[in-house]
Structure 1
Amino acid sequence: MSVADIAARFRAGVYGTARRAARRGRHPNRAVGNPAGPPQTLPVPRKPAGKSDCRPTRRVGTIAGMLAADAPDCLIVTGMPGAGKSTVTRLVAERLPRSARLDGDFVSRLVVSGRVGALGEPADEAARQVRLCNRNLCTLANNFSDAGFTPVIDWVVPDRAQLDFFLSLLTPRQVLFVVLAPGIEACRYRNTLRDPRERFDFDGYEALDAAMKRELGDVGWWFDTASLTPEETADRLVREARRRALVN
């Protein structure tokens, strides 16, 4: 498939996930880094003598702070394959008091018989299954939000049409949209550091990068993480996403 073909599929709402190098396939977004990380310690408010309250304060301007609302906001973390979405979203979720991490690749693979990958054929069925996955992610996010958990979505959102679809189904919740953007070479390099069973072949970086910048370049927070560790990236997301990434 040529770069032009890949770009056309992106514009049609179908994104590339990558051809897996092993039978054990996952969405090609695993970045290097230890997924374990200690949760943030939130300050405890001082109370007058004779009164006690064990509830932590909600820090204004952080993702943790938005849990004070009746319906927690939703965080969507996207980026090219290899950008670090899976590792970073796991670390962010671990740093929040109440959270649910929603892996789009996992949700898409709930279809066992009849599944067509995003770059598979027929193209119209591939696009239909992408839309189905997007709808299921929004349904899960709304359910977790209603129960008081912050949804943290890990998924490739390649164009404005798909983002608008998410926004329409997540209303009235506010959505934080973060594009991890370490650059094409960083994504390629990270792939070489992966376990051989998890490496993937993906030849559409240039087309996907151009399509995302054209469609989403002025939306949300484009976060250059090339010089940051996954832990540093997650810490900054927790501190700054509420201020930088709001899209509705």
Structure 2
Amino acid sequence: MKKKLIIINGVPGVGKSTVSKELHKSLPKSVWLDGDWCWMMNPWMITEENIRMVERNIIYLLRSYFSNSNFDYIVMSWVLHREEITKRILEGIQDFEYELTRITLTCTHESLRERMLLDNRTQEQFEASSRRQRLYEDMETFKIDTSNISLEETIKRIIQEL
């Protein structure tokens, strides 16, 4: 079986981590990489040096997962709001043979606000996420609007897409 890389992206607060965690538990022989883990630094600073470091770390982890015979599915969740970021990540693993599925989670403005409030996120964070939603519209990804569907239904749709 050829390994499958499942990339799940979307704005902060849309539910990428929640969906990825559940998807990972639903797929046999799977591993989950949350790109946010590579950004857990204090102070949190978006600099060119940190961006490159995070991308190198993600590529390193993906390469390790591809090299490990214990995994058939690699679930990666991250904001990935620009195609060039995804392109750089994929270039770093181009020597591996795998099937790629790219999924963008979306939701309505109202659903995003509710989710971010439940996560104790600020109005500023909500507004930043809301502004970024348009960046995902033209991406060549399978889109799932999670506004009015359950976590289980979201997982079911992803597994059907695989």
Tell me how far apart the structure 2 counterparts of residues 162 and 193 of structure 1 sit (CA, whole Å): 29
Higher share in helix = 2
2:108 matched to 1:180? no
1:168 to 91, 104, 118: 91
Task: Kindly indicate whether structure 1 or structure 2 has the higher relative contact order, using CA contacts under 8 Å at least 6 residues apart.
Answer: 2
Stretches of structure 2 that go unaligned for 5 or more consecutive residues are: none
1:207 to 112, 115, 131: 131
Do 1:80 and 1:187's aligned partners in 2 also have CA atoms closer than 8 Å? no
1:155 matched to which residue of 2? 78
1:232 matched to which residue of 2? 153
Per the TM alignment, residue 174 of structure 1 is displaced from its structure 2 partner at its CA by 3.0
Higher share in strand = 2
Higher alpha-carbon Rg: 1
Stretches of structure 1 that go unaligned for 5 or more consecutive residues are: 1-67, 119-125, 243-248
Alpha-carbon spacing, 1:117–1:165, altered in 2? closer, same or farther (3 Å): same
2:10 matched to 1:82? no
RMSD over aligned Cα atoms: 1.9
Tell me how far apart the structure 2 counterparts of residues 175 and 184 of structure 1 sit (CA, whole Å): 29
Tell me how far apart the structure 2 counterparts of residues 218 and 133 of structure 1 sit (CA, whole Å): 22
Do 2:38 and 2:58's aligned partners in 1 also have CA atoms closer than 8 Å? yes
1:5-154 → structure 2 map (5 Å cutoff): 68-69=1-2, 72-109=3-40, 111=41, 115-118=43-46, 126-148=47-69, 149=71, 150-154=73-77
- TM-score, normalised via structure 2 length: 0.85
Residues 102-121 of structure 1 deviation map (CA, whole Å, 9 limit, x = unaligned): 11111222x55xx5433xxx
Do 2:7 and 2:103's aligned partners in 1 also have CA atoms closer than 8 Å? yes
Alpha-carbon spacing, 1:136–1:98, altered in 2? closer, same or farther (3 Å): same
Do 2:10 and 2:80's aligned partners in 1 also have CA atoms closer than 8 Å? yes
- TM-score, normalised via structure 1 length: 0.58
The one-letter code sitting in structure 2 at the alignment partner of 1:209 is: Q
Tell me how far apart the structure 1 counterparts of residues 48 and 150 of structure 2 sit (CA, whole Å): 34
Do 1:89 and 1:152's aligned partners in 2 also have CA atoms closer than 8 Å? yes
The one-letter code sitting in structure 1 at the alignment partner of 2:128 is: G
Alignment size in residue pairs: 156
Residues 92-151 of structure 1 deviation map (CA, whole Å, 9 limit, x = unaligned): 000111111111111222x55xx5433xxxxxxx23312321221122112112213122
Per the TM alignment, residue 88 of structure 1 is displaced from its structure 2 partner at its CA by 0.2
219-228 vs 166-175, greater mean Cα deviation: 166-175
Percent identity over the alignment is 24
Do 2:13 and 2:129's aligned partners in 1 also have CA atoms closer than 8 Å? no
Partner secondary structure for residue 166 of structure 1? helix
